[in-house]
Structure 1
Amino acid sequence: MLGKAELLEAIAPLNRGIRATAADRLMVEAAAVRLEERNPTAHPLTATPRLEGDWRLLYTTSRELLNLDRLPLASLGSIYQCIRLQEGRIYNVAEVAGPPLLSGLVAVAARLEPVSDRRVNVRFERGVLGLQNRLNYQSPSQFIATLTTTRRFSLLQGIDFPIQAERQSGWLEVTYLDDDLRISRGNQGSLFILRKG
């Protein structure tokens, strides 16, 4: 699909949006809108096999995520958004590369509440910050399995804290979904472009 190739080409050199200039953001926005107009999945929240799974972030305008790259002596690694529709949950997992044995992890867990066939309300409930080796991190799926069976990580593993859902909530709308690409928009005006797998 030409629109999809155009969008992927536009975001390829932008390091998930970290290197994006104002002109780059306008170009990506225009390419995303053109692709959204040809969304092959009219009701993404009912397309469970397509939507469910682990999605790697290719591009975003979210300052909250992009600012993770400003940590001292570290750089932002891969960021994943993992959707578990059956459980009504979503997990954001950001890998932070650092000096040997000091690579970190920032993860948040939230509850999903569908409000239409394209939009969900998101209520954040839990956050975890720590070193990957202390948390025995291997992959997003493995970590989520550990997270869901561990009531609370010890301080030796990392910082595990509750998030007040009333103060940390929003919505996410899926505006384009095919077998391996998803475009979503958030309540703060953020654009997210993700690839499955």
Structure 2
Amino acid sequence: MASLNLLPNPSTSLSRSLPFSSSSSPSSSSCFYPRGFVPRRNFHAFTPKGNNHLKPFLVVKSAVDEAPVAEPLPFPFGESISSLKLNLLSAVSGLNRGLAANEEDLEKADAAAKKLEAAGGLVDLGDDLDKLQGRWKLIYSSAFSSRTLGGSRPGPPTGRLLPITLGQVFQRIDILSKDFDNIVELQLGAPWPLPPLEVTATLAHKFELIGSSKIKIIFEKTTVKTTGNFSQLPPFDVPRIPDAFRPSSNKGSSDFEVTYLDADFRVTRGDKGELRVFVIS
């Protein structure tokens, strides 16, 4: 007589709870199956919903005068969220936040991000807005491959021959005050024998939700604070260019979509197609 057991762990036996166990008996609240028959719809009972870290269970068959045979279950298991996050980090590592990315690097990063976005599902900021709270460090921006600090928008160029070196980039988000600050560390070259000037520029914005996963930011002001050898100098606000003189592509507001979000990892897609990856800092 054939029998079948699902064994998620060699040290654990589930035979006592299976509806087709020899000790089972028909009742009004459960179905009775002949010994050795396993309905396909019962397989999912041993795969907790939303758990991406389980390895495939095994079906172990036995028959009279036959040795046990182990086979994988017939339904697929996806990669874990943790491994997909690591794959994305691996794809963007060594790219200097995107400044050193070529076309092949951009494609690899985009493909890794799409796998994570698909596994994570749709983001609903109506329920998960609190996960935005905090200071986020930019790991990668596809827009920086244009070799300008403005990314897909106008901005000062970077390079060996120009005296601007990009340091760390952060986003500081306060969901109560609706503050959304982009914080950029820069090093500005100076004529010899003066040391380079290190500054932190804070581009202050307000934000609002314009969809379940989309955010609009509205620019307010830029504040510059010297650091390093000149840290004693007070901060100052950079005068804002009047809207009449601003390029049509930079009117002080933009929007982006949050395509993946958890407590320590965030992926966004900008209104000009920029892919950005952040980790909580």
In structure 2, distance between residues paired with 1:61 and 1:17: 6
SS of 2:120's equivalent? coil
CA shift for structure 1 position 13: 1.0
Structure 2 unaligned blocks of 5 or more:
1-81, 190-194, 244-249
In structure 2, distance between residues paired with 1:11 and 1:101: 28
Matched, 1:14 2:102: no
**Identical amino acids, percent of aligned pairs:** 26
The aligned length equals: 179
Matched, 1:102 2:164: no
In structure 1, distance between residues paired with 2:269 and 2:242: 22
User: Contact 1:41 / 1:177 at 8 angstroms: preserved in 2?
Assistant: no
In structure 2, distance between residues paired with 1:20 and 1:173: 22
CA shift for structure 1 position 84: 1.0
Query: Which structure has the larger Rg?
Result: 2
CA shift for structure 1 position 98: 4.9
Match of 1:120 in 2: 215
What one-letter code is carried by the residue in structure 2 that aligns with 1:93? I
Aligned residue among 4, 25, 33 for 2:114: 33
Matched, 1:55 2:133: no
In structure 2, distance between residues paired with 1:91 and 1:164: 21
Question: Where does structure 1 differ by over 2 angstroms across 4 or more consecutive aligned residues?
Answer: 62-69, 71-74, 97-101, 128-136, 156-166
The higher-RCO structure (CA 8 Å, 6+ apart) is 1
Sort the Cα spacing of 1:135 and 1:163 in 2 relative to 1 into closer, same or farther, 3 A.
farther
Q: Deviations over 1:123-146 (max 9, x none)?
A: 11111234235566xxxxxxxxxx
Higher helix share: 1
Sort the Cα spacing of 1:68 and 1:59 in 2 relative to 1 into closer, same or farther, 3 A.
farther
Structure 1 unaligned blocks of 5 or more:
137-153
Higher strand share: 1
CA shift for structure 1 position 82: 1.0
